[in-house]
Amino acid sequence: MKRTPQGRPLLIAALCLLLAAVSAQAGGEPRSFRAGQIDVMTQNLYVGGDIFLPFAATTPEEFAELAVQVINQIIATDFRERSVSLAGQMLDADPHLIGLQEVYVLRVCALEDPEFCLLDDDYLEILLADLNKDGDRYRAVAEVTNIEIPALPLPVPGLGVFLVSIEDRDVILARADVQTTNPVGENFCAGVPVPPESLLSGLLPKILRGYAMVDARVKGRDYRFVNTHLEISEQPVFSTFQSQQAFELIGPPDPDCPSAGPLFSAQQTVVLVGDFNSDPDAGPLVPCLAPGGLCPTPYALLSQAGYVDTWSARGGRWDAGLTCCQEEDLRNASSILSERVDQIWVGKAPDHYGGPVVRGVRAEVLGDEPADKTPNGLWPSDHAGVAARMTLRVPK
C-alpha cells in the first residue's frame, strides 16, 4: 500500500515515541552475553466456525438462528479429531515452548438435562491429553481469557432450550524440561466495541484480545516468552484497535493501562509469537479511524522497534511461509493459504551488545500439506503453524 502524506506523521510519531522509550530504558552496568538455542512454535487452533456471527443478531430469533448455525459448523469441524493431527505436528517439532491461540471451552448442554450436550469441549484439555498420552511432555504455564460468556440460554428447534458457555483463551505450553516463572495473562485496553444494538452487547461490551507471558529457562538460558492474538484488520475500525494493541505490547508502560509495556519492561531476550493478523506484504500503513486515516501495522511497528522476524532470517531455500487461511469448513481439497500472519519475533535485551540477537534460524510451516489432513479430510486448523529453531544472544 502506498504511503500518503497525511499518513506519514502518524507512523513517524508512533515510531519516534517507541524508539525514544527503548533508548531511555537502556543503561546501567553492562552485562555479559552468551548464545542459547531455543525451539518454539505458534499455532492458532481455530474454534471451527464463525464464532462472531451471532454478534450481528439484534433479536432473540436472529440470535438463535445464527448461534445454531455456528454450533453446526463447530461440530462439523470436530476439534477432537483435529487435535490428534495438531498434537502429532507439535510432538514432531518438539519445541521448548508453544504459543496457542483460540483455545476455546465450548459447552452447549440441555437446560433440563445437563448431561446431554451438543458440545462439551475444552480444547486445552483435549490437546494436552493427545500431547501427553505417552508421558508428561507438555503443560500449560500461562494463559489469558479473552471472551467469556457463561450460561446463555439458546432454544434449539426440536431439542428444547440449551445453555451455551463460551471461553476463548490464548495459552502457553512448556515442555517438561523447561522451567517457567512469573506467568502473566492480560487483556489489551484497546478492544473493538460490540455495537449497542447487538443482543450480546450487555454481556460483552467489547471484543477483547490479549497476551500470555512467562519467563522461561531453557538449557540454562533465560528468555521472556510472549504469545498473543491481535485484532483483524479487514476494516478500518478493526485495524485501529489492532495497531493500538501492538503498541501496548512494545511501547512503554502506561499507568492507565495494566496491559501496556510487557516487552518494553523485559530484561531478557524476548521471543514473541502469535497470530498477529498482519501480513508483511500489506505494507507499513493500513486504513484506520485515526487522524489522517492511516495506522502503522503490527508488522511495521515491530520491525521499526528492532524486533527480528525470524522467518525473514531463516536459512535454506526461499519459502513464502503462508499460514492463513483454509476454508471455514476445513474441507478444501488443496491448500488456499495466502497470508503470512502467524509469526515468531525476537527482541534484544535492553543492554544487548555484540553480535546479532538471532542467528542459525531453521523455521518451517506445519499443517499446510494435504498429507496433514485428518482421516475425515479436515485440515488441522484454518491456520498453519510455524516452528523455529534458533540461536539467540542472551544475557548471562
Query: How does pLDDT run along the chain (396 residues), one tens digit per residue?
Result: 333 334 444 554 555 555 545 444 545 567 889 999 999 999 999 999 999 999 889 999 999 999 999 999 999 999 999 999 999 999 999 999 999 999 999 999 999 999 999 999 999 999 999 999 999 999 999 999 999 998 899 999 899 999 999 999 999 999 999 999 999 999 999 999 999 999 888 888 999 999 999 999 999 999 999 999 999 998 999 999 999 999 999 999 999 999 999 999 899 999 999 999 999 999 999 999 999 999 999 999 999 999 999 999 998 899 999 999 999 999 999 999 999 999 999 999 999 988 899 999 999 999 999 999 999 999 999 999 999 999 999 998
Nearest to 330 by CA among 85, 98, 100, 89: 85
Q: What is the pLDDT of residue 361?
A: 97
Q: What is the pLDDT of residues 20-44, one digit of tens each?
A: 454 445 455 678 899 999 999 999 9
- Cα–Cα distance between 364 and 390 in angstroms, integer? 12
All cell numbers assigned to 266: 523485559
- Cα–Cα distance between 9 and 363 in angstroms, integer? 35
CATH number of the domain encompassing residue 70: 3.60.10.10
- Cα–Cα distance between 46 and 36 in angstroms, integer? 32
3 state SS for the chain: CCCCCCCHHHHHHHHHHHHHHHHHHCCCCCCCEEEEEEEEEEEECCCCCCCCHHHHCCCHHHHHHHHHHHHHHHHHCCHHHHHHHHHHHHHHHCCCEEEEEEEEEEEEEECCCCCCEEEEEEHHHHHHHHHCCCCCCEEEEEEEEEEEEEEEEEEECCCEEEEEEEEEEEEEEEECCCEEEEEEEEECCCCEECCCCCCCCCCCCEECCEEEEEEEEECCEEEEEEEEECCCCCCHHHHHHHHHHHHHHHCCCECCECCCCCCCCCCCEEEEEEECCCCHHHCCEEECCCCCCEEECHHHHHHHCCCEECCCCECCCCCCCCCECCCCCCCCCCCCCCECCEEEEEECCCCCCCCCCEEEEEEEEECCCHHHCCCCCCCCCCECEEEEEEEEEEEC
Q: What is the pLDDT of residue 11?
A: 53
Q: What is the pLDDT of residue 244?
A: 97
Q: What is the pLDDT of residue 384?
A: 98
What count of other Cβ atoms lies within 10 Å of the Cβ of residue 94? 12
311-319 own/partner pairs: CB under 8 Å, 24+ apart:
311/340, 311/343, 311/344, 311/363, 311/386, 311/388, 312/280, 313/358, 313/359, 313/361, 313/390, 314/361, 314/362, 314/363, 314/388, 315/360, 315/361, 315/362, 316/362, 319/365
Q: What is the pLDDT of residue 353?
A: 87
Q: What is the pLDDT of residue 238?
A: 96
The answer as to whether 164 is a domain residue is: yes
Taking the model in full, what pTM does it have? 0.93
Q: What is the pLDDT of residue 2?
A: 33
Q: What is the pLDDT of residue 202?
A: 85
- In DSSP terms, which residues pair with 314 in a beta bridge? 361
Nearest to 352 by CA among 267, 247, 272: 267
The answer as to whether 26 is a domain residue is: no
CA angle centred on 101, ends 71 and 350, rounded to 5°:
165
Q: Is the preceding omega at residue 295 within 30 degrees of 0, hence cis? A: no
Q: Are 390 and 364 in contact (CB under 8 A)?
A: no
Number of domains observed in the structure of the chain: 1
- The residue assigned the cell 527482541 is 347
The answer as to whether 4 is a domain residue is: no
Q: What is the pLDDT of residue 203?
A: 85
The answer as to whether 325 is a domain residue is: yes
The answer as to whether 126 is a domain residue is: yes
The answer as to whether 5 is a domain residue is: no
- Cα–Cα distance between 126 and 45 in angstroms, integer? 12
Task: Write the CB contacts of 262 (distance below 8 Å, at least 6 apart in sequence).
Answer: 184, 186, 211, 213, 224, 226, 249
Q: Are 97 and 173 in contact (CB under 8 A)?
A: yes
Q: What is the pLDDT of residue 10?
A: 52
- Domain residues for the domain of 133 are 33-395
Q: What is the pLDDT of residue 5?
A: 38
Residue 27 backbone class (left: φ over 0; alpha: ψ -120 to 50; beta: rest): left
Q: What is the pLDDT of residue 228?
A: 98
Per cent of the chain over pLDDT 70 is 93
Q: Are 135 and 78 in contact (CB under 8 A)?
A: no
- Cα–Cα distance between 40 and 191 in angstroms, integer? 28
Q: How distant is the alpha carbon of residue 17 from its chain centre? A: 25
The answer as to whether 166 is a domain residue is: yes
The answer as to whether 18 is a domain residue is: no
- Cα–Cα distance between 133 and 341 in angstroms, integer? 31
